[in-house]
Amino acid sequence: MGQNDRLQRLETFEAEALGFSGQLFRVALRVCRDRERAEDLVQETYLQAWRSFHRFEMGTNLRAWLYKILFNVYYGGIRRERLELAPIEETIAETIAYDPPTPQHLTEEEVLIALERIPRDFQVPVVLADVEELSYREIADALQIPLGTVMSRLHRGRKLLRMELANYARNAGYQIAN
């Protein structure tokens, strides 16, 4: 491949793929919980994506493809944590039977604190679905887990988030509807 072809190909890649860097970074940040690591993860994701770009079929879902690579790179980095839910976290989520009404009037800071308190295995699907607006199928593909597991983690993750917010609201003296 000549230099001009390579340049043209890279420009296409940058034009198509780099627009998603913000979204990838937000998810990387939830996964890594550290800015530098998140930036490294995004960097490595794009590098892998560029190396496989010749296999990508234009017109198909580029964003979902990038998320899949991101989690592949991430899982490759910490293989031991792959798909494993800490048993204690699973137990916590399962024991929540009470689903409180969603409190209103909380600040964005309070919402962020509540989100960060949720175990990562529940937090990441919630961010992918409710912030990044991936479909449940895209989340299952990206995280490489069955669709049923995605739905279950989303259900529990959202419930945990509402619990955190309700506790926060109660402690702060806000009134919660019954």
Partner 1 sequence: MVMDCHNFKELLDSYLCGELAVETNHTMLCHAERCCSCRNEMAARRLLRESLRRVCSREKMSDHAMENLRTILRSEAGLGAGPARRSDEAGRRSWFAGLFKMRFLMSAAVVAALTLLIIGAWSLYVLRRGDLTNQQKMSRLSPEQIKALELSGSLIAESVGDHRTCAAHFVDATESAEMPDSVRNYDSACVRLDKIAAEGAAGLLLRAAHICDFGERKFAHLVYTRDSRLISLLVTARDSQALKSGQVPPFDGLTLGTQRFTRDHLALGAYQTVKRVILVVSDLSENENTALAERLAKPVAEHLRSAEAKLGLEKRVGRLNLRED
Residues 14-33 that bind partner 1 (CB under 8 A): 14, 18, 21-22, 25-26, 29-30
State how far the alpha carbon of 32 is from the alpha carbons of 27, 77, 146, 150, in Å.
9, 11, 23, 20
Indicate the residue among 99 and 173 with the shorter CB distance to partner 1. Answer: 99
The binder of partner 1 chosen from 31, 115, 118, 169 (CB under 8 A): 115
Count of positions on this chain that bind partner 1 (CB under 8 A) = 64
b/e burial code for range 117-153 (CB count within 10 A of at least 16 → b): ebbbbbbbbbbbbeebebeeebbbbbbebeeebbebb
Helices (H) and strands (E) in the chain, counts: 9, 0
Shortest Å distance, C-beta 163 to partner 1: 13
Assign 97 to helix, strand or coil. coil
Cβ 137 vs Cβ 147: under 8 Å? yes
Contact status: 109 vs partner 1 (CB under 8 A): yes
Return the ∠ at Cα 146 (arms to 131 and 71), rounded to 5°: 55
State how far the alpha carbon of 94 is from the alpha carbons of 44, 87, 88, in Å.
35, 11, 10
Indicate the residue among 68 and 162 with the shorter CB distance to partner 1. Answer: 162
Shortest Å distance, C-beta 35 to partner 1: 8
Tokens representing 50?
Answer: 């560029």
Contact status: 6 vs partner 1 (CB under 8 A): yes
Shortest Å distance, C-beta 145 to partner 1: 10
List interacting residues with partner 1 (CB under 8 A): 3, 6-7, 9-10, 13-14, 18, 21-22, 25-26, 29-30, 35-37, 39-44, 46-47, 50-51, 73, 76-77, 97, 99, 101-104, 106, 108-109, 111-112, 115, 126-127, 129-131, 133, 135-136, 146-149, 151-152, 154-156, 158, 161-162, 165, 177
